[in-house]
Chains A and B, each alone.
Chain A
Amino acid sequence: MAEQGASESRRSFLKAATMALGGAVGVVLAVPLVRYFLFPVGRKVVSSSSEPVDVMAESALVAGGPPVQVALVAAQQRDAWVSREKVAVGSAWLSKDEAGRVTAFSAVCPHLGCAIGYDDASSSFRCPCHKSAFGRNGIKQAGPAKRGMDPLPVVVESGRVKVTFLRFRPDVSERTPA
């Protein structure tokens, strides 16, 4: 009986030691793997050159006319391991008011990031995904979006319209850079 008791405690020890060893191996392996996996978090893995993009001749915009969608092409982009040139990073809706002032709105919906289109019939911007609607001035008219369309910095230099592409956090009422 005594021998059986000793054998019993020996086996309990072996069980505990086995699990402890297994746990230790698991932790030593898990730590680097988790850190590896979380590498992209909080890192600009994709970064594009941020200078203003030449999109069109100012004269091609009609004062008071319907907005025009233009592609925003970054001169340079680093996407993880690749270095690219001339990459479309987004698009903007350009319009010129009666006074000749040019404005640009990001086509990224401030709700969840779908691409906003323009509806000629109602003269308003419409997001196809969740039916958010915005006026020509970008102000929200209907739908789940929590803020109006995001304006983009725009300048006119020697007859050319130049737009700077910016990203903002989606689905928040305050416009904050992303």
Chain B
Amino acid sequence: MPRLGDWFDLRAGHRRVLHLALDEPLAGGASFAYTFGSILVFLLLLQITTGIFLAMGYSASATDAWSSVAYIQDQVTLGWFVRGLHSHGASAMVIIAGVHLLQTAVYGAYRKPRELNWIVGVLMLGLLLAFALTGYLLPWDQTGFWATKVATGIAGSSPVIGTQLQEAVQGGNEYGNLTLTRFFGLHVLVLPGALIGLVVVHVLLFRKHGHTPHWWLKEDELRRRSQPFWPDQMFRDMVAMAAVFAVLVVVNLYTGGVQLDAPADPSSSFDARPEWYFRPLFQALKYFTGSMEQIVALGAPVVIGGVLLALPFVDRGPSNSPVRRWKELAALGLLGVVLGGLMVISFLEDKSDERYQKAVAESEERAREARTLALEHGVPTAGGPTVYTTARFFRARAIWREDCAGCHEGRERKGPEIGPGYNSRAWVRDFLKNPSDKRFFGVTGINEMKPVKQEGADLDALVELVYSQTGAADANPALVERGKALFDGDGNCSNCHSIDGKTEEEQGPNLGGRGSAEVLTEFIARPDHPRWFGKANEMPTFYNKYGGLERRELAEWLISLRGGHAQR
């Protein structure tokens, strides 16, 4: 091994590089207080790695984005885990960046001659938020779509160049393919390039000036307690990174990854919320209206950035001790309290807002439905919300709403009620005992049928006979036989009805195959056929409007009602 190392070093000179990188002495010794920068580098690498793998399964198009993310989330092995790590990792970066900023401020590490590095750091914080903003839209789900619309709307409210700015950011006049390709390009190429460049500058500047040691130690004490970066500090860095990673993994497992909402639907109304770190601004905008709102939306980030950037130029005293710099730190603290307070208020308001909670529950239900359908049937090429059209009986339910529900559902009915339990044994029994009830033909002009007189086992037999016509597999053949005898005999049914599916009676519809898929398909087309209601018919015919396949689907949906619940 040493020989291989020598061979390599002679050619690559890696030992000198490692020596330069690792053997820096730290005055005052290693400390967990210095680990936050390293944690951020680790998290950045984690974001890059998980991001690369996510990009291998992601399609940046308005029709495919949601479907591809749903595919990652629900079908690719551990896709939910990788996506969850990426999303929670972004939150972790914002948190640790905040702590890093605080540590730097408390230690006075931004002070002369390190002002430039502080500025670079503030810029990187801005980039982090830009990452979050662009990444939030990529799944093209309801939350990301509507929340990002607000953000680009704010850009659009900028003075003078607002419209142009918004169109440049969102790639045109409307949200669409170009919005996604732009956000994707920014998120995976431009922003990482910029951030990595700034990280390099940040680390080089840090190495130029060295770390800012504990303020409570004197010069000689600092020198006496000096320790090398490797391994003393690196060990602490590694412990901190591993701890953060462990927390991330546990949170990710506990939350089951990150939510994917229903596909973006511009025709819906959606009460969107931004990511938690944008909540302070979101909340602040509730308190302002009109042009003040625009001023706050655009001005607040500028003010916050300005305060941060000004700190090292204001804080120019001789001491690094936080006690002596309480004014600057108090200003920073106040900023933190305001932002934190707004965020907490925002979450509390949502928590106590019943209407919002109900909307959240509904949108979660909608998301579950969309993802289940995408998993089972795939998403049609038109993408996004068309996933719902793959639901069983989707077309039938649409036809029902358009042409059937008006007469067969609700109080304004003009025909027999049709709903859960339709054509079940219980329904048939109720009908036979009271055919002219308001539930049945009472609301129509067809009211000549007399209630069936039979009771007990005889009634059971007649019910079974009618029930068996639907083609139900669980009909009892012996009862059906007995019912047939009654039909022609004491039941007096055959005076008005036939049950062979062919004979055209004057008085009543032929009951053969009544409620079966075949007969329903035909009946919906021509209820006025002499086999059924003939001249007495009041229902519109649909042979012109719907083809056989559509009527058949409707028929099968009607049959599915028999089980007692409406198929969603």
Q: Are B49 and A33 in contact (CB under 8 A)?
A: yes
Q: How far is the CA of A21 from the CA of B42 in the complex (A)?
A: 13
Residue B231, interface by CB 8 Å? yes
Residue B82, interface by CB 8 Å? yes
Q: Are B49 and A32 in contact (CB under 8 A)?
A: no
Residue A29, interface by CB 8 Å? yes
- Going nearest first, the 6 A-B pairs with the smallest beta carbon separation are A83-B378, A81-B67, A14-B231, A81-B71, A14-B235, A15-B231
Q: How far is the CA of A39 from the CA of B54 in the complex (A)?
A: 13
Residues of A within 8 A of B270 (CB): none
Q: Are B238 and A78 in contact (CB under 8 A)?
A: no
User: What is B's interface to A at a CB cutoff of 8 Å?
Assistant: 46, 49-50, 53, 56, 59, 64, 67-68, 70-71, 75-79, 81-82, 230-232, 234-235, 238-239, 241-242, 245, 249, 374, 377-381, 390
With A82-B67, A83-B377 given, can you name 18 additional A-B contacts, CB distance below 8 Å?
Answer: A14-B231, A15-B231, A17-B235, A25-B242, A25-B245, A28-B249, A29-B46, A32-B82, A33-B53, A35-B77, A36-B82, A38-B77, A39-B77, A80-B68, A81-B75, A81-B374, A81-B379, A83-B390
The residue in chain A whose Cβ has the minimal distance to the Cβ of B63 is A82
**B131 CB, min distance to chain A CBs, angstroms:** 20
Residue A18, interface by CB 8 Å? yes
Which residues from 78 to 94 on chain A have a C-beta closer than 8 Å to any C-beta of chain B?
Answer: 78-84
State which of A17, A24, A78, A82 has its C-beta within 8 Å of the C-beta of B64.
A82
**A11 CB, min distance to chain B CBs, angstroms:** 6
Residues of A within 8 A of B71 (CB): 80-81
Q: Are B53 and A82 in contact (CB under 8 A)?
A: no
Interface string of A23-44 (1 = CB under 8 A from B): 0110011001101111100000
User: Can you report 22 residue pairs joining A to B where beta carbons are below 8 Å apart?
Assistant: A14-B231, A14-B232, A14-B234, A14-B235, A15-B230, A15-B231, A17-B235, A17-B238, A18-B235, A21-B241, A21-B242, A33-B50, A33-B53, A35-B77, A35-B78, A36-B81, A38-B77, A39-B79, A81-B64, A81-B68, A81-B75, A83-B380
Interface string of A72-114 (1 = CB under 8 A from B): 0000001111111000000000000000000000000000000
Q: Are A21 and B238 in contact (CB under 8 A)?
A: yes
Q: Are B374 and A36 in contact (CB under 8 A)?
A: no
**A13 CB, min distance to chain B CBs, angstroms:** 9
Residue A5, interface by CB 8 Å? no
State which of B76, B78, B238 has its C-beta within 8 Å of the C-beta of A18.
B238
State which of B59, B67, B76, B239 has its C-beta within 8 Å of the C-beta of A36.
B76
- Size of A's binding interface in residues, CB under 8 A: 25
A21/B64 contact (C-beta < 8 A), A32-B78, A81-B71, A84-B381 known? no
State which of A25, A79, A80 has its C-beta within 8 Å of the C-beta of B241.
A25
Q: How far is the CA of A141 from the CA of B71 in the complex (A)?
A: 46
Residue A22, interface by CB 8 Å? yes
Residues of A within 8 A of B241 (CB): 21, 25
**B303 CB, min distance to chain A CBs, angstroms:** 39
A82/B46 contact (C-beta < 8 A), A37-B53, A38-B77 known? no
Interface string of A1-24 (1 = CB under 8 A from B): 000000000010011011001101
A32/B64 contact (C-beta < 8 A), A18-B231, A83-B378 known? no
The residue in chain A whose Cβ has the minimal distance to the Cβ of B387 is A83
Residues of B within 8 A of A11 (CB): 231-232
Residues of A within 8 A of B232 (CB): 11, 14
State which of B77, B78, B230, B379 has its C-beta within 8 Å of the C-beta of A83.
B379
State which of A21, A36, A82 has its C-beta within 8 Å of the C-beta of B379.
A82
Q: How far is the CA of A28 from the CA of B238 in the complex (A)?
A: 15
User: What is A's interface to B at a CB cutoff of 8 Å?
Assistant: 11, 14-15, 17-18, 21-22, 24-25, 28-29, 32-33, 35-39, 78-84
**A113 CB, min distance to chain B CBs, angstroms:** 23
The residue in chain B whose Cβ has the minimal distance to the Cβ of A24 is B242
**A83 CB, min distance to chain B CBs, angstroms:** 3
Q: How far is the CA of A78 from the CA of B375 in the complex (A)?
A: 11
Q: How far is the CA of A25 from the CA of B38 in the complex (A)?
A: 14
**A85 CB, min distance to chain B CBs, angstroms:** 8
**A100 CB, min distance to chain B CBs, angstroms:** 36
**A38 CB, min distance to chain B CBs, angstroms:** 7
Residues of A within 8 A of B377 (CB): 83
Residues of A within 8 A of B68 (CB): 80-81
Residues of B within 8 A of A82 (CB): 64, 67, 378-381
Residues of A within 8 A of B381 (CB): 82-84
Residues of B within 8 A of A22 (CB): 238, 242
Q: Are A39 and B234 in contact (CB under 8 A)?
A: no
State which of A14, A28, A79, A84 has its C-beta within 8 Å of the C-beta of B245.
A28
Q: How far is the CA of A36 from the CA of B51 in the complex (A)?
A: 13
A21/B239 contact (C-beta < 8 A), A14-B231, A28-B245, A37-B56 known? yes
Residues of A within 8 A of B46 (CB): 29
The residue in chain B whose Cβ has the minimal distance to the Cβ of A20 is B238
Residues of A within 8 A of B235 (CB): 14-15, 17-18
The residue in chain B whose Cβ has the minimal distance to the Cβ of A12 is B231
Q: How far is the CA of A79 from the CA of B242 in the complex (A)?
A: 39
**B278 CB, min distance to chain A CBs, angstroms:** 28
Q: How far is the CA of A32 from the CA of B54 in the complex (A)?
A: 12
Residues of B within 8 A of A29 (CB): 46, 49, 245
